A and B are shown apart, each in its own frame.
Chain A
């Protein structure tokens, strides 16, 4: 199956700082999503981005499919950004997603 590696595994930031999270995947995909799991365990979809760049407020994501990686940018981080960020990928013709191990982000006031 597809291997998904995320880095860094842990990240501690001061409020207001910027950060970049990385996701590498081992094979061609036609589905890539970023999720945020808040401290209460709820998983929320942030982006569907199999290729290209998208922005939503302070968050943006870029996927370079030919080089098999995706980046999630968080600017001007807030304490509410804390939690675990997951990258998940899927192959053509299958809705099933394979999740990476996540990046645990802690934003301190």
Chain B
């Protein structure tokens, strides 16, 4: 299995631009998670989906962030408009059972 796939791996954009991060979970997994990692706040959950339905989006920082999961094999995290404080590594993870989450390699986002 290819594992969780994220794209792009690196993104540099200017403040005010729209950013879209993409994730392909492991085939057959029914839960998908978006996390953000920064030096100041560590690893924090943004949102998670179960069977393509958003279950908990309490970690989404504000309305500029949105996430979708149109089918079991694809999810997007969108930031519009982006701000410098959004600079972070964004991880996608998927799981089939509660005991293990498999993380993707992350997308390093820099907003200038």
CB distance from A101 to the nearest CB of B (A): 5
Contacts of A45 in B (CB 8 A): 100-102
**Is residue A99 contacting chain B, with contact meaning CB distance below 8 A?**
yes
Distance, CA A58 to CA B94, complexed state (A): 27
CB distance from B87 to the nearest CB of A (A): 15
Contacts of B106 in A (CB 8 A): 41-42
In the complex, per-residue mask of A66-109: 1 if CB is within 8 Å of any chain B CB, else 0 = 00000000000000000000101010001111111110000000
Query: How many residue pairs between the two chains, A and B, have CB atoms under 8 Å in the bound complex?
Result: 51
**Is residue B50 contacting chain A, with contact meaning CB distance below 8 A?**
yes
Q: Which of B42, B56, B93, B101 contacts A94 (CB 8 A)?
A: B56
Query: B103–A42 contact, CB under 8 A?
Result: yes
Query: A43–B91 contact, CB under 8 A?
Result: yes
Distance, CA A102 to CA B43, complexed state (A): 9
List residues of B whose CB falls within 8 A of some A CB. 31, 33, 35, 42-45, 48, 50, 55-56, 89, 91, 93, 95, 98-103, 105-106
List residues of A whose CB falls within 8 A of some B CB. 31, 33, 35, 41-45, 48, 86, 88, 90, 94-102
